[in-house]
A = this chain, B = another copy of it.
């Protein structure tokens, strides 16, 4: 049995599709869902909000995933947090496609979607900034990383919504690997180069990630 909230979302999408977003009133949505106007506004702040019904919940999920990240597993946590959002859209299926038709044709909904993206980005930025020490010198870098994560997510989501990929989750993992590779270097270009010879009996592949991490930590300690 669908909840009143679910029925409101379903009714809204159906009515927007049948008669257009602008022509549909909140009263009509409530009527179709078999509830009243007051019930609508108990769940959604506005007519725009009903087409992003899980936005706040997704923000909480991102926060939760990032907050639980161990010190050595932060890149993984960032990838997984953004993946949660993508997986949510994929699971919605036809609903996500209906939303895409709306946000690409109704300016008010496109604006609303953009504002939502900014909120996602801010959550990533806040965590990454704290991880980088929280100072002004890492402020730009955390903004750049957060923007890159959201850009990669949106890129893959859009590719899927347009029907250009059958494997969005694999595409996403590839995209996030590209993002993480961009930032897998110190924030500032080197001043002069130096050759350091270090000896190890380990395989190169096992050692390099450790070296990179050590360099990043050295950079953060200054």
Contact = CB atoms under 8 A, between A and B. Distances in A.
Contacts of A147: 147-148, 150-151
A9 to B, nearest CB: 23
Complex copy number for this chain: 2
B201 A191 contact: yes
Contacts of A185: 181-182, 185, 199
A210 B189 CA distance: 16
A187 interface: yes
A23 interface: no
Interface in A23-64: none
Contacts of A111: 111-112, 114-115
Interface in A127-158: 139-141, 143-144, 147-148, 150-152, 155
Interface stretch (A14-22, A81-89, A94-102, A171-179): A171-179
A19 to B, nearest CB: 25
A5 interface: no
Interface of chain A, main secondary structure: helix
Contact of A140 (B178, B183, B194, B202): B178
Contacts of A221: 206
Given A204-B196, A206-B218, A144 B186 contact: no
B190 A219 contact: no
A3 interface: no
A73 interface: no
A149 to B, nearest CB: 10
A115 B109 CA distance: 12
A115 B194 CA distance: 46
B188 A181 contact: yes
Given A111-B114, A182-B183, 5 more contacts: A144-B152, A198-B215, A206-B221, A206-B222, A207-B214
Interface of A: 107, 110-112, 114-115, 118, 139-141, 143-144, 147-148, 150-152, 155, 175, 177-179, 181-183, 185-191, 193-194, 196, 198-202, 204, 206-208, 210-215, 217-219, 221-222
